[in-house]
Amino acid sequence: KAGVTQTPRYLIKTRGQQVTLSCSPISGHRSVSWYQQTPGQGLQFLFEYFSETQRNKGNFPGRFSGRQFSNSRSEMNVSTLELGDSALYLCASSPPGLAVTYEQYFGPGTRLTVT
C-alpha cells in the first residue's frame, strides 16, 4: 500500500501570497490531520477532516483553512502569507472507524519558505 503523499515537497512563496498544499492519504483512510512544525513552536495541530467535514480545529488564524474531497484527499490553504508561516507542514491519515487507538500515518511533509 502506498503511504501518505504530500505535494509539493518544497515551496517558496513571497509574503502576501497564498499557497495550497495537498495531501493524499493511504487508500481507505478517511481521516486527514494537518500539523505545522517550526523550530520555535514545535509541532502544532492545525485541523482534522473526516468524511469531508472538519472534525477538529487548532488555534490558528482564519488565514489557515482546509478542505477534504470525496476521495479523502485533503488540501490546506494559507492566505496572505507571513514570514512566520515558514514551516514544515505535515499531514497524517488514519484508518476508518472511530477507535482512537488507531495509528496516524504521517506523510513526508511540505517545506514552505516565505520570503
**CA separation for the pair 64, 19 (Å, rounded):** 10
Phi-psi region of 108 (alpha: psi -120 to 50; beta: other; left: phi over 0): alpha
Query: What is the DSSP-derived secondary structure letter of residue 103?
Result: P
Instruction: Give the nearest distance from C-beta 2 to other proteins in angstroms.
Output: 14
* Binding interface with other proteins (CB under 8 A): 31, 33, 35, 42-45, 48, 50, 55-56, 58, 88, 90, 92, 94, 98, 100-104, 106, 108-109
Closer CB to other proteins, 83 or 100, in the complex:
100
Closer CB to other proteins, 17 or 56, in the complex:
56
Cell numbers given for 94:
488514519
